[in-house]
Amino acid sequence: MSLVRYGAVRDGLVCLIFACCLTACSSVSSHLSKSVDASPYRAELQKGVDARAVSPIGVFPVRIAGGKGLDPALAADFSEKLRRRLAAELPSEAFENPARSALRQRALENVLESRLPSHRQAALFGELTGVSSVVYGTINRFGTDASRDMRDLAGASAGFSLWLIEAGSGRILWQCNYTNFNQPLSENLLRIQESAAQGFRYRSSPELLNYGLEKVVADLRLIVSPKGVTE
Protein backbone atom coordinates (compact mmCIF):
# COMPACT_ATOMS: atom_id res chain seq x y z
CA MET A 1 0.00 0.00 0.00
CA SER A 2 1.43 3.39 -1.01
CA LEU A 3 2.05 6.02 1.61
CA VAL A 4 -0.55 8.28 0.00
CA ARG A 5 -3.23 5.57 0.08
CA TYR A 6 -2.30 4.62 3.66
CA GLY A 7 -2.58 8.25 4.71
CA ALA A 8 -6.02 8.58 3.15
CA VAL A 9 -7.30 5.44 4.90
CA ARG A 10 -5.84 6.63 8.22
CA ASP A 11 -7.43 10.05 7.89
CA GLY A 12 -10.76 8.44 7.00
CA LEU A 13 -10.68 6.26 10.09
CA VAL A 14 -9.81 9.24 12.28
CA CYS A 15 -12.76 11.21 10.86
CA LEU A 16 -15.11 8.25 11.39
CA ILE A 17 -14.01 7.83 15.02
CA PHE A 18 -14.31 11.57 15.62
CA ALA A 19 -17.84 11.63 14.17
CA CYS A 20 -18.88 8.70 16.38
CA CYS A 21 -17.51 10.51 19.43
CA LEU A 22 -19.46 13.65 18.56
CA THR A 23 -22.67 11.66 18.17
CA ALA A 24 -22.15 9.92 21.49
CA CYS A 25 -21.36 13.20 23.27
CA SER A 26 -24.44 14.81 21.78
CA SER A 27 -26.60 11.93 22.96
CA VAL A 28 -25.15 12.06 26.48
CA SER A 29 -25.54 15.85 26.59
CA SER A 30 -29.18 15.58 25.56
CA HIS A 31 -29.83 12.92 28.20
CA LEU A 32 -28.11 14.97 30.91
CA SER A 33 -30.12 18.07 30.01
CA LYS A 34 -33.35 16.15 30.42
CA SER A 35 -32.08 14.75 33.73
CA VAL A 36 -31.23 18.18 35.05
CA ASP A 37 -34.77 19.33 34.24
CA ALA A 38 -36.06 16.45 36.37
CA SER A 39 -34.65 17.86 39.62
CA PRO A 40 -37.36 17.46 42.29
CA TYR A 41 -36.83 20.82 43.98
CA ARG A 42 -36.58 24.20 42.27
CA ALA A 43 -36.56 27.58 43.99
CA GLU A 44 -36.11 31.17 42.89
CA LEU A 45 -35.33 34.27 44.93
CA GLN A 46 -36.29 37.55 43.30
CA LYS A 47 -33.44 39.97 42.64
CA GLY A 48 -32.76 42.59 45.27
CA VAL A 49 -34.46 40.75 48.14
CA ASP A 50 -32.58 40.86 51.44
CA ALA A 51 -33.20 39.84 55.02
CA ARG A 52 -34.62 43.23 55.96
CA ALA A 53 -37.45 42.80 53.44
CA VAL A 54 -38.18 39.27 54.64
CA SER A 55 -37.86 39.17 58.44
CA PRO A 56 -39.87 38.32 60.37
CA ILE A 57 -41.59 35.54 58.43
CA GLY A 58 -45.10 34.26 59.12
CA VAL A 59 -46.79 31.09 57.89
CA PHE A 60 -50.26 31.14 56.35
CA PRO A 61 -52.02 27.73 56.24
CA VAL A 62 -51.02 25.67 53.24
CA ARG A 63 -53.96 24.23 51.30
CA ILE A 64 -54.71 21.29 49.05
CA ALA A 65 -54.62 22.24 45.38
CA GLY A 66 -58.08 22.29 43.79
CA GLY A 67 -59.39 19.02 42.42
CA LYS A 68 -56.69 16.84 43.99
CA GLY A 69 -59.03 15.00 46.34
CA LEU A 70 -56.50 14.89 49.17
CA ASP A 71 -57.29 15.00 52.87
CA PRO A 72 -57.28 18.63 54.15
CA ALA A 73 -55.66 17.31 57.36
CA LEU A 74 -52.53 16.67 55.28
CA ALA A 75 -52.19 20.40 54.54
CA ALA A 76 -52.87 21.36 58.16
CA ASP A 77 -50.19 18.95 59.37
CA PHE A 78 -47.71 20.25 56.77
CA SER A 79 -48.37 23.87 57.80
CA GLU A 80 -47.81 23.11 61.47
CA LYS A 81 -44.60 21.20 60.74
CA LEU A 82 -43.35 24.09 58.62
CA ARG A 83 -44.08 26.56 61.45
CA ARG A 84 -42.27 24.40 63.99
CA ARG A 85 -39.23 23.85 61.81
CA LEU A 86 -38.91 27.54 60.90
CA ALA A 87 -39.28 28.53 64.56
CA ALA A 88 -36.48 26.08 65.43
CA GLU A 89 -34.10 26.96 62.59
CA LEU A 90 -34.49 30.70 62.00
CA PRO A 91 -33.10 33.41 64.29
CA SER A 92 -35.80 34.49 66.76
CA GLU A 93 -36.07 37.92 65.16
CA ALA A 94 -36.60 36.31 61.74
CA PHE A 95 -39.79 34.42 62.63
CA GLU A 96 -43.23 35.43 63.86
CA ASN A 97 -43.41 36.28 67.57
CA PRO A 98 -44.85 33.28 69.48
CA ALA A 99 -46.18 35.65 72.15
CA ARG A 100 -48.64 36.93 69.55
CA SER A 101 -50.40 33.57 69.10
CA ALA A 102 -53.79 35.01 70.16
CA LEU A 103 -53.43 37.86 67.64
CA ARG A 104 -52.39 35.36 65.00
CA GLN A 105 -55.45 33.20 65.62
CA ARG A 106 -57.88 36.16 65.44
CA ALA A 107 -56.27 37.44 62.25
CA LEU A 108 -56.40 33.96 60.73
CA GLU A 109 -60.10 33.56 61.52
CA ASN A 110 -60.95 36.97 60.04
CA VAL A 111 -58.93 36.39 56.90
CA LEU A 112 -60.29 32.90 56.25
CA GLU A 113 -63.84 34.26 56.42
CA SER A 114 -63.11 36.64 53.56
CA ARG A 115 -63.76 35.78 49.92
CA LEU A 116 -60.33 36.96 48.83
CA PRO A 117 -58.04 34.73 46.72
CA SER A 118 -55.41 32.80 48.68
CA HIS A 119 -52.65 35.20 47.61
CA ARG A 120 -54.52 38.23 48.96
CA GLN A 121 -55.56 36.37 52.10
CA ALA A 122 -51.94 35.54 52.87
CA ALA A 123 -50.83 39.14 52.26
CA LEU A 124 -53.60 40.48 54.51
CA PHE A 125 -52.78 37.92 57.19
CA GLY A 126 -49.19 39.13 57.20
CA GLU A 127 -50.28 42.74 57.52
CA LEU A 128 -52.63 41.99 60.43
CA THR A 129 -50.04 39.96 62.34
CA GLY A 130 -47.21 42.45 61.90
CA VAL A 131 -44.76 40.23 60.02
CA SER A 132 -42.77 41.37 56.99
CA SER A 133 -43.43 38.37 54.76
CA VAL A 134 -45.62 35.29 54.64
CA VAL A 135 -45.16 31.74 53.34
CA TYR A 136 -48.23 30.16 51.76
CA GLY A 137 -48.97 27.61 49.07
CA THR A 138 -50.58 24.34 48.03
CA ILE A 139 -49.88 20.62 48.20
CA ASN A 140 -50.24 19.38 44.64
CA ARG A 141 -49.70 15.64 44.96
CA PHE A 142 -49.38 12.97 47.60
CA GLY A 143 -49.29 9.31 46.62
CA THR A 144 -50.60 6.66 48.98
CA ASP A 145 -48.68 3.61 50.07
CA ALA A 146 -50.18 0.88 52.20
CA SER A 147 -47.00 -0.70 53.58
CA ARG A 148 -43.23 -0.46 53.74
CA ASP A 149 -42.86 -3.08 51.00
CA MET A 150 -40.71 -1.63 48.21
CA ARG A 151 -43.22 -2.70 45.56
CA ASP A 152 -45.91 -0.64 47.24
CA LEU A 153 -43.57 2.31 47.74
CA ALA A 154 -42.77 2.47 44.03
CA GLY A 155 -45.88 4.62 43.51
CA ALA A 156 -45.21 6.99 46.41
CA SER A 157 -44.96 10.68 45.52
CA ALA A 158 -45.25 14.15 47.01
CA GLY A 159 -45.30 17.67 45.65
CA PHE A 160 -46.07 21.25 46.59
CA SER A 161 -45.72 24.85 45.48
CA LEU A 162 -44.87 27.58 47.98
CA TRP A 163 -44.47 31.33 47.78
CA LEU A 164 -42.93 33.88 50.14
CA ILE A 165 -44.74 37.18 49.66
CA GLU A 166 -44.44 40.65 51.13
CA ALA A 167 -47.08 41.34 53.79
CA GLY A 168 -49.68 43.85 52.63
CA SER A 169 -48.56 44.27 49.02
CA GLY A 170 -48.40 40.57 48.18
CA ARG A 171 -45.22 41.05 46.13
CA ILE A 172 -43.54 37.69 45.48
CA LEU A 173 -40.10 37.51 47.11
CA TRP A 174 -39.31 33.82 46.69
CA GLN A 175 -41.03 30.75 45.31
CA CYS A 176 -40.40 27.03 44.99
CA ASN A 177 -41.84 23.98 43.28
CA TYR A 178 -41.23 20.47 44.54
CA THR A 179 -42.27 17.19 42.93
CA ASN A 180 -40.62 13.99 44.09
CA PHE A 181 -41.25 10.30 43.53
CA ASN A 182 -39.29 7.09 43.80
CA GLN A 183 -37.21 6.67 40.66
CA PRO A 184 -34.53 4.07 39.85
CA LEU A 185 -31.07 5.59 39.38
CA SER A 186 -30.85 3.82 36.03
CA GLU A 187 -33.52 6.24 34.76
CA ASN A 188 -31.76 9.39 35.96
CA LEU A 189 -28.11 9.17 37.04
CA LEU A 190 -27.90 12.88 37.81
CA ARG A 191 -30.24 12.35 40.76
CA ILE A 192 -27.57 10.35 42.57
CA GLN A 193 -27.02 13.20 45.07
CA GLU A 194 -30.74 13.31 45.87
CA SER A 195 -30.83 9.53 46.16
CA ALA A 196 -27.83 9.56 48.51
CA ALA A 197 -29.54 12.16 50.71
CA GLN A 198 -32.55 9.84 50.87
CA GLY A 199 -30.45 6.81 51.81
CA PHE A 200 -30.50 5.08 48.40
CA ARG A 201 -33.88 3.55 49.17
CA TYR A 202 -37.49 4.07 48.24
CA ARG A 203 -39.33 6.45 50.54
CA SER A 204 -42.96 6.69 51.59
CA SER A 205 -45.05 9.69 50.56
CA PRO A 206 -44.81 11.30 54.05
CA GLU A 207 -41.02 10.94 53.92
CA LEU A 208 -40.87 12.49 50.45
CA LEU A 209 -43.06 15.36 51.60
CA ASN A 210 -40.90 15.95 54.67
CA TYR A 211 -37.74 15.88 52.53
CA GLY A 212 -39.14 18.75 50.47
CA LEU A 213 -40.15 20.64 53.62
CA GLU A 214 -36.56 20.50 54.89
CA LYS A 215 -35.38 21.93 51.57
CA VAL A 216 -37.71 24.88 52.11
CA VAL A 217 -36.46 25.43 55.67
CA ALA A 218 -32.84 25.39 54.47
CA ASP A 219 -33.65 27.89 51.70
CA LEU A 220 -35.41 30.34 53.99
CA ARG A 221 -32.68 30.05 56.60
CA LEU A 222 -30.15 31.01 53.95
CA ILE A 223 -32.27 33.98 52.84
CA VAL A 224 -32.62 35.51 56.32
CA SER A 225 -29.02 34.67 57.30
CA PRO A 226 -26.98 34.90 54.08
CA LYS A 227 -23.67 35.02 55.96
CA GLY A 228 -22.24 32.33 58.14
CA VAL A 229 -24.68 29.62 57.10
CA THR A 230 -23.21 26.15 56.86
CA GLU A 231 -24.94 23.26 55.14
Q: Is residue 89 part of a domain?
A: yes
Q: Is residue 159 part of a domain?
A: yes
Of 34-38, 106-110, 164-168, the poorest mean pLDDT is in 34-38
Do 134 and 48 share a structural domain? yes
Do 31 and 109 share a structural domain? no
Widest CA span in the chain: 95
Q: Is residue 5 part of a domain?
A: yes
Predicted local confidence at residue 184, as pLDDT:
65
Predicted local confidence at residue 225, as pLDDT:
83
Q: How many domains does the chain have?
A: 2
**Residue 155 — very low, low, confident or very high, per pLDDT cuts 50/70/90?**
confident
For the chain, the distance separating the N- and C-terminal CA atoms, rounded to the nearest angstrom, is: 65
| pLDDT above 90 as % of the chain | 55
Do 77 and 11 share a structural domain? no
Do 52 and 29 share a structural domain? no
Range of the domain at 199: 41-224
Q: Is residue 230 part of a domain?
A: no
Q: Is residue 231 part of a domain?
A: no
| pLDDT above 70 as % of the chain | 70
Residues 157-178, mean pLDDT to the nearest whole number: 97
Do 46 and 17 share a structural domain? no
Do 205 and 134 share a structural domain? yes
Q: Is residue 229 part of a domain?
A: no
Do 189 and 103 share a structural domain? yes
Do 184 and 169 share a structural domain? yes
Burial profile 156-191: b = 16 or more Cβ within 10 angstroms, e = fewer: bbbbbbbbbbbbeebeebbbbbbbbbbbeeeebebb
Do 60 and 31 share a structural domain? no
Q: Is residue 207 part of a domain?
A: yes
Q: Do the beta carbons of residue 103 and residue 137 sit within 8 Å?
A: no
pLDDT tens for each residue of 9-67: 344 443 444 444 444 444 433 333 333 445 899 999 999 888 778 999 999 999 999 87
Do 58 and 32 share a structural domain? no
pTM score, two decimals?
Answer: 0.76
Q: Is the peptide bond before 91 cis (omega within 30 degrees of 0)?
A: no
CATH number at residue 210: 3.40.50
Q: Which of 31-35, 136-140, 142-146, 153-157 has the highest mean pLDDT?
A: 136-140
Looking at the DSSP bridge assignments, the partners of residue 138 are 63, 161
Predicted local confidence at residue 39, as pLDDT:
80
Do 114 and 90 share a structural domain? yes
Do 67 and 13 share a structural domain? no
Q: Is residue 204 part of a domain?
A: yes
CB-count burial class (<10 Å; 0-12, 13-18, 19+) for 122? buried
